């Protein structure tokens, strides 16, 4: 059992929210929820938007730690983590390297492949490779349907399910609005699931799996955050051996990527054969009213407020994490 957390010992806390990424709106919702939860637990917490203020103000104003509720570029990709390292202000979640790796889905997949973890077949086209001829041949490599996405965005932004050759140009145009590269991925026909993780290293714990049932399988940005049309099943209703296998590979991926604090892996379970495939690892998951980590934590007996307090209490710098690992 975890020891009680003394909120008074956590010091002045900045909840970093907003930022400049395409996920700013979601980040503001996440951050507002976290801020209220921490304040309700007696934490001296304040909102801080890096898009409006200089991060150096954190040190000037005596902040002792930071809860990162930023999503996407400059918040989830190692940039703000690096700045906080330089400022010497402990922060929630993964460190610089793990954050950068997980934000780039191409690099994440390379780690999955190196570790022998299941992930859909894929290929990446850099800006110089995106000729009309090469784009048209991608379905020959991966089959149809396939998925096209910007490799360094989240929240399903810029993603297209490509059904035919004639859809390829439009899918690339949408993805390149957000990233010069495009990641193409084999489409896995089946069920979408997600599995959060708390902790670090051998002490990391996989939380209950959530099964996602979106209208016509379309789990896009709108259905993630702004409608109630998507059903989230937790308990998942999956056979126990399937749930355990999902948790096993998620923990293996989390550890291989060097994550700490918390994270959430998204997967597809292929209908034929029931094999799970890792899609990505999120190192700063959403904390909105529709978000999945709080839902899974509740199923494990952890309230939203307790979750926020627990994550904040584990805030650290990379140097602290290295000492604990020794």
Residues that are catalytic: 23, 155, 225, 264, 266, 280, 282, 286
3-state SS class at 185: strand
Check: CB of residue 50 under 8 Å from CB of residue 324: no
Question: Residue 112, Cβ neighbours under 10 Å: how many?
Answer: 24
Find the length of the chain: 326
What CA–CA distance (Å, rounded) separates 317 from 314?
Answer: 10
Q: How do 182-186 and 146-149 pair as beta strands?
A: antiparallel
Tell me the three state secondary structure of residue 193: strand
Residues 6+ apart with CB under 8 A from 239: none
Residue among 287, 235, 299 nearest 261 (CA): 287
d(CA 149, CA 158): 6
> 3-state secondary structure string, 9-78?
HCCCEEEECCCCCCCHHHHHHHHHHHHHHHHHCCCCEEEECCCCCCCCHHHHCCCCEEEECCCCCCCCCC
Backbone dihedral angles phi then psi of residue 176, each to the nearest 5 degrees: -75, -5
């Amino acid at each position: 059992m975890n020891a009680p957390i003394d909120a008074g010992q956590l010091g002045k806390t900045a909840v970093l929210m907003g930022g400049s990424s395409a996920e700013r709106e979601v980040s503001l919702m996440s951050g507002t929820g976290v801020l209220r939860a921490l304040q309700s637990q007696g934490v001296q917490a304040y909102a801080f938007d890096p898009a409006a203020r200089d991060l150096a103000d954190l040190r000037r104003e005596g902040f002792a730690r930071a809860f990162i509720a930023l999503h996407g570029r400059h918040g989830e990709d190692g940039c703000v983590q690096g700045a906080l390292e330089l400022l010497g202000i402990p922060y929630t979640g993964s460190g610089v390297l793990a954050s950068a790796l997980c934000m780039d889905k191409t690099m994440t997949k390379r780690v999955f492949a190196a570790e022998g973890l299941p992930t859909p077949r894929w290929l990446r086209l850099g800006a110089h490779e995106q000729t009309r001829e090469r784009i048209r041949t991608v379905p020959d490599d991966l089959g149809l349907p396939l998925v096209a996405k910007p490799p360094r965005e989240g929240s399903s932004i810029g993603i297209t399910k490509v059904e035919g050759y004639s859809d390829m140009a439009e899918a690339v145009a949408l993805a390149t609005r957000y990233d010069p590269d495009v990641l193409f991925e084999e489409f896995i026909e089946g069920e979408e699931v997600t599995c959060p993780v708390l902790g670090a290293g051998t002490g990391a714990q996989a939380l209950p799996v959530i099964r996602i049932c979106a209208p016509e399988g379309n789990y896009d940005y709108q259905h993630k955050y702004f409608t109630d049309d998507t059903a989230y099943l937790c308990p998942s209703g999956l056979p126990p051996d399937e749930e355990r296998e999902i948790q096993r590979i998620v923990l293996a991926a989390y550890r291989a990527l060097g994550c700490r604090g918390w994270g959430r892996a998204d997967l597809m379970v292929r209908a034929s054969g029931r094999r799970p495939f890792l899609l990505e690892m999120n190192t700063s998951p959403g904390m909105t009213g529709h978000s999945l980590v709080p839902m899974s934590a509740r199923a494990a007996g952890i309230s939203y407020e307790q979750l926020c307090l627990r994550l904040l209490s584990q805030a650290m710098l990379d140097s602290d994490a290295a000492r604990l690992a020794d």
